[in-house]
A and B are shown apart, each in its own frame.
Chain A
Amino acid sequence: MSSRCRASFTLLALTALALGACNREERHSRAKPMGETVPAGVSPDTIWPGGTVAQTLDPRAKIYDNNAPAISQGQQLFSQMNCSGCHSHGGGGMGPALIDDEWRYGGRIDQIATSIAEGRPNGMPSWRSKLTQDQIWQLAAYVRSMSGQPSKDAVSSRAESMSNTAPQTLTPREPAHTSDTAEQ
């Protein structure tokens, strides 16, 4: 390869690398205050009388899903808001397990955000006006990371709790055995 060719190739590679990390590392600290509400996320695992409805993902999902600062902030909130008191570090207890591939109310990020905001029957508290919608989405991003859904480079490789196992953010994603299309 000529040196000019090598130089431009290197430049191209570096640019690609830099751009690839853009969304993952972008930090949104000035999130808009809670004017909008967390949407009522719908599970595809339901009957649509008369015909199915097209599902579009909330545009905010792109901002939080696979975003390293959001997942990391969600990890802090998870223990500070006592989510770990009921869900442990994903294994469950008073609440269901979050590291597996079974989701009672949907496992897409907007569905998880709705579960946190609305609360759910049988005991999930409602955080709607207790956390900002930014914080709720951050938590949803972290909860998704516990079942191995985001890419490995977006999640923290360090556990903040007793590390007798691999950190829950590095839990391998179980292959989808479920019929819920949100999981596939």
Chain B
Amino acid sequence: MSVQHYQSIFGNASIEARQFNTLFVIFLAVCAVMYAAVIAFMLVALARRRRGGRANVMEDGRHHESDPALRTGLIGWSAVVATGLVALAIASFVADRSMASTAARERLSLTVTANQGWWDVQYIASDNSKMIRTANEIHLPVGVPVRIYLKSNDVIHSFWVPSLAGKQDLIPGRENDITIVPRKVGLYRGQCAEFCGTQHAKMALVVQVEPYSDFIKWWERQLQPAAAPATPLAKAGYDFVTSRNCGACHAIAGTPASGTVGPDLTHFASRRTIAAGSMPMGEGNLYGWIADPQSIKPGTKMPTIGLEPNELHSVVAYLETLK
């Protein structure tokens, strides 16, 4: 199944994005009109000069009365400019206030913590035992205001899903937030927009906007711990993962693995990409990633472990059960 990513600042997939684009259009219109007028005047000025015309009255040094027509024109032009600026200011203010008012209506919140090379996503629930944790993928219900708290564990990153909202930095030691109301069901791609290390270019995330009922189903699925492996190969993979301490960095709910340094893998196989958008999820890509992450994403924090072929088969088989 091919994965469609949609990443465009004209995406209009959320109310904020649409408001922003409306503002953009207003600005474009006003500025285009001004630009056209300025160009028109310039052309007129060039044309009139070529036709010759009256001598330059300034050359003889005498003071002259200003031309009434010119004065009216100047006042008129200033009025036009002023009107244009006021229009832009009002539009900007209205759009900004409207985008900010969403924050007061939030009904869902999650925390995105950026690390070098991946996004840690934790959904907040009033009942703490219903909180879920995932990585590099966000699901949002359409039409519901959501506030995303933004934190960083190491350096400055920037959260940018162009179809949904503008950029917002994630700064270590500080909590920022951004509020969105998604309005179009679909799949959208985001990426890190602040240079954060050797793998800044491969730090993408996927946002899935879906109907509310689908979102609740997804949430409930995420609450389930990982199923115990059924086939012998997957069981061997589980033993390998446990004894070689993949859990030192990764967490898999329902197993002893509870690491917080790397992405949560409980429902890893149900995600659309591997390694924060570096590759689409698929068996071949999974083999490549587990065998040698450093060749795909050099400098990433996941080390290259020397795996025997049968170990690699078993680990991939186990990871594929983590749906």
Contact = CB atoms under 8 A, between A and B. Distances in A.
Is there direct touching of A and B in the complex, by C-beta distance under 8 Å? Answer: yes
Given A29-B298, A30-B295, A132 B303 contact: yes
Given A30-B294, A30-B298, A80 B261 contact: yes
A135 interface: yes
A interface majority secondary structure: loop
Interface in A130-184: 130-132, 134-135
Interface in A111-136: 129-132, 134-135
A81 interface: yes
A33 interface: yes
Given A80-B249, A80-B261, A130-B244, A33 B305 contact: yes
B282 interface: no
A129 B306 contact: no
A61 B248 CA distance: 26
A148 to B, nearest CB: 25
B304 A132 contact: yes
A143 to B, nearest CB: 18
A134 B302 CA distance: 12
Interface in B290-307: 292, 294-295, 298-299, 301, 303-307
B56 interface: no
Nearest to A79: B261
B299 A33 contact: no
B2 interface: no
Contacts of A27: 299
A43 B59 CA distance: 96
Residue in A27, A30, A31 whose Cβ sees the most chain B Cβ within 10 Å? A30
How many chain B residues sit at the interface, stated as a range, is 10 to 19
Contacts of A81: 248
Interface in B257-273: 261
A134 B243 CA distance: 19
Contact of A29 (B244, B245, B294, B305): B294
Nearest to B243: A129
Contacts of A80: 249, 261
How many chain A residues sit at the interface, stated as a range, is 10 to 19
B262 to A, nearest CB: 9
A27 B38 CA distance: 55
A51 interface: no
A121 B144 CA distance: 57
A68 B280 CA distance: 34
Nearest to B259: A80
A33 B261 contact: no
B291 to A, nearest CB: 9
Residue in A29, A32, A81, A135 whose Cβ sees the most chain B Cβ within 10 Å? A29
A34 B305 contact: yes
Contacts of A131: 248, 303
B309 to A, nearest CB: 13
B59 to A, nearest CB: 53
Contacts of B294: 29-31
Given A29-B294, A129-B243, A129-B244, A134 B303 contact: yes
Interface in B150-206: 198
A35 interface: yes
A31 B261 CA distance: 21
Nearest to A69: B299
A145 to B, nearest CB: 19
Contact of A34 (B245, B295, B299, B306): B306
Contacts of B303: 31, 131-132, 134-135
A33 B308 CA distance: 11
A81 B259 CA distance: 10
B299 A29 contact: yes
B305 A132 contact: yes
Residue in B244, B248, B249, B298 whose Cβ sees the most chain A Cβ within 10 Å? B248
B8 to A, nearest CB: 33
Nearest to A31: B304
B304 A30 contact: yes
Interface in B120-162: none
Q: Closest 4 A-B residue pairs measured CB to CB?
A: A33-B306, A130-B245, A132-B303, A34-B306
18 contacts: A27-B299, A29-B198, A29-B299, A30-B294, A30-B295, A31-B294, A31-B304, A32-B306, A33-B305, A33-B307, A80-B249, A129-B245, A130-B244, A132-B304, A132-B305, A134-B303, A134-B304, A135-B303
Given A29-B298, A29-B299, A130-B244, 4 more contacts: A33-B292, A34-B306, A80-B249, A134-B304
Interface of A: 27, 29-35, 76, 80-81, 129-132, 134-135
